[in-house]
Amino acid sequence: MPMKKPFSRLVAAAALFAPLVVFGQKNSCLECHDQLEDELKAPVTAFKGDIHGQFNLSCVDCHGGNPAEDDVDRAKDRTFKGAPKRTQVPQFCGGCHSDGAYMRRYNPGLRVDQLDQFWTSRHGQLLKGGDSKAAVCTDCHGVHGIQTAKFPKSTTFPWNIPQTCARCHADAEYMKGYKIPTDQIAEYQQSVHAQALLVKKDLSAPACNDCHGNHGAFPPEVSSVASVCRQCHLSAGELFARSPHKKAFDELGAGECEACHGNHKILKPSTAMIGTDDPAVCAQCHEQGSRGFAAAAEIRTALDGFEGAFQDVEGLLALAEQKGVEVSDAKFKLLDVTTILVGVKNLTHGLDVAEIRKSVGEGETALAGVRAAGEKALEEARFRRQGLVVATVCLAFLAVALALKVRQMSRQRKST
């Protein structure tokens, strides 16, 4: 239901401007409500930090009324709209925020399609169907203390978004009857994405809206999960798209990336996810003796071999370093192997055994060089200890010889 151009606003503006000339910017709404208590005072306190206030918009611009009038009945004139009902909030906000020409005056770069998007979202659909429990603008953005999403304390700043969504989605009581789980945020908080965003403060890590959409929030369809993930994980997505799994998963209704990595509780992947034994998932579809089963086993063996060798060499260098030998050159060469190892693990999304083997081969060749350096370093450590023994033995003999000489000399002196 598109909002009619508020003619009443013009009236309110006229009513406002006339007294302004004489009395200056009077705002009886704020003055009166400031003297009230609790919920009636709250808007005044909150509005102090509101972004609309910074653009010189105030109560009248949303609620109508006459802010020049001190008398409450006169202030609440014909133009007064009061607080909108929950189900009417989207249209209420959209009245300005969907009007491109109007918004241009305040922030030309700000999008104006939020309301359109909202109607495509699950929240919007529920609302249209009459469900007033669904989220509306104010549930996420706040009411009177609305801040831009660029401000770190805003409810819509990336690292605050999980909390904002959790207000409903983690509330089992509230979500009763909707037949969706309420543990998504708890699961998300255990994920690498949450670790990156909430702990390491890496703003490039995804929060709820990056995968589900902002105003058009909806869980991604099975066949588009990979598209969502590959916004950041491009190569994994591309490899998956050309692998035999893409068609198979879509037909099965398995959620592409989600089938192996989960959706909210995405943890650091490991080679244990591939193979024919628990906790690998390959055997759930591929029976023993099938091509897929054999491939899974082969890939796992190749990966384990390479990663095992890598960890061996890492340990070798650490040991040499602990023994006091300088291994920074070898460690630098190991970085190259790390890059290859990460690349090989990524290649598993493509399920091309030959491709994986080739990469593993390259990695193992590079690793051989580092291993040689590591072993040389250990040899050096051994050489140093051996040298110490030799030097200490010589010095011990010298100390004894000196002591004997001293004794001999003092005896000589005593006898003479």
Partner 1 sequence: MAKTPGRAVFEFLDERFLLSDIITFGRKKMVPEHRQSFWYFFGGICLFLTGIQVATGLLLLLYYTPHVDFAHESVQFIMSQVKFGWLIRSVHSWTANILIGVIFVHMFSTFFLKAYRKPRELTWMTGFFLLVMFMAFGFSGYLLPWNELSYFATRVGTDIAGSLPLIGKWLKTVILGGPDVSQATLSRFFWFHVALLPLAALAFIGLHVLLVQTLGMSKPVGVREKREIPFFPDFLLKDAVGWTLILVLVGVLCVFLPWEVGPKADPFAPTPLGIKPEWYFTFMFTTLKIVPPHILGVEGEMLAILGFLAGGLLWLLVPFLDRRAARDERSPVFTWAGLAVALYIIVMTVLTYTVPKL
Partner 2 sequence: MKRRNFVNLFLGGSLLATVAAFLYPVVRYLLPAKQASAAQQKVTAAKVGELPPNSAKSFRFGSSVAVLVNTAEGQLVALSAVCTHLTCTVRFESDTATLFCPCHNGRFDLGGNVLSGPPPAPLETYRVEVAGEDIVVSRKS
Integer-rounded Cα radius of gyration of the chain:
35
Closest distance to partner 1 from the beta carbon of 372 (Å): 16
**Contact of residue 326 among partner 1, partner 2, none (CB under 5-8 Å per partner type):** partner 1
Cα 36 from Cα 288, distance rounded (Å): 74
Closest distance to partner 2 from the beta carbon of 89 (Å): 34
The single residue among 204, 284, 288, 415 that binds partner 2, judged by CB under 8 A, is 204
Cα 13 from Cα 81, distance rounded (Å): 14
Closest distance to partner 2 from the beta carbon of 329 (Å): 9
How do the residues of the chain divide into helix, strand and coil, expressed in percent and rounded to 5? 65, 0, 35
Cα 34 from Cα 29, distance rounded (Å): 8
In this complex, which beta carbon is closest to partner 1, that of residue 252 or of residue 402?
402
The single residue among 234, 248, 267, 318 that binds partner 2, judged by CB under 8 A, is 234
User: Does residue number 56 form part of the binding site for partner 2 (CB under 8 A)?
Assistant: no
User: Does residue number 390 form part of the binding site for partner 2 (CB under 8 A)?
Assistant: yes
The single residue among 228, 326, 342, 363 that binds partner 1, judged by CB under 8 A, is 326
User: Does residue number 328 form part of the binding site for partner 2 (CB under 8 A)?
Assistant: yes
In this complex, which beta carbon is closest to partner 1, that of residue 105 or of residue 413?
413
User: Does residue number 318 form part of the binding site for partner 1 (CB under 8 A)?
Assistant: no
User: Does residue number 379 form part of the binding site for partner 1 (CB under 8 A)?
Assistant: no
Kindly compute the dihedral angle of the four CA atoms of residues 174, 179, 182, 188, in this order, to the nearest 10 degrees: -140
User: Does residue number 398 form part of the binding site for partner 2 (CB under 8 A)?
Assistant: yes
The distance in angstroms from the start CA to the end CA of the chain is 125
**Contact of residue 101 among partner 1, partner 2, none (CB under 5-8 Å per partner type):** none
In this complex, which beta carbon is closest to partner 1, that of residue 151 or of residue 383?
383
User: Does residue number 372 form part of the binding site for partner 1 (CB under 8 A)?
Assistant: no
* Site pattern 387..406 for partner 1 (x: CB under 8 A): xx--xx--xx-xx--xx-xx
Stretch that binds partner 2, among 45-53, 72-80, 126-134, 225-233 (CB under 8 A): 225-233
Helices H / strands E in the chain, number of each? 22, 0
In this complex, which beta carbon is closest to partner 1, that of residue 83 or of residue 398?
398
User: Does residue number 389 form part of the binding site for partner 2 (CB under 8 A)?
Assistant: no
Give the DSSP H or E segment for 3: none
Q: How many residues does the chain have?
A: 416
Query: What token pair was written down for 30?
Result: 């704020």
The single residue among 170, 232, 353, 378 that binds partner 2, judged by CB under 8 A, is 232
In the range 328-357, which residues lie near partner 1 by CB under 8 A?
Answer: 328-329
Kindly compute the dihedral angle of the four CA atoms of residues 290, 294, 300, 303, in this order, to the nearest 10 degrees: -140
Query: What token pair was written down for 275?
Result: 């193979």
* Site pattern 202..241 for partner 1 (x: CB under 8 A): ----------------------------------------
CA angle at 69 for the pair 64 and 73, rounded to the nearest 5°? 75
DSSP letter string, 118-185: HHHSHHHHHHHTT-TTS--HHHHH-SSS---TTSTTSTTSGGGHHHHHHHHHT-TTTTTTS-S-S-HH
Residue 67 DSSP label: T
In this complex, which beta carbon is closest to partner 2, that of residue 252 or of residue 389?
389
Of 16, 22, 100, which Cα lies nearest the Cα of 58?
16
Closest distance to partner 2 from the beta carbon of 202 (Å): 7
Binding site for partner 1 (CB under 8 A): 324-326, 328-329, 384-385, 387-388, 391-392, 395-396, 398-399, 402-403, 405-406, 409-410, 413
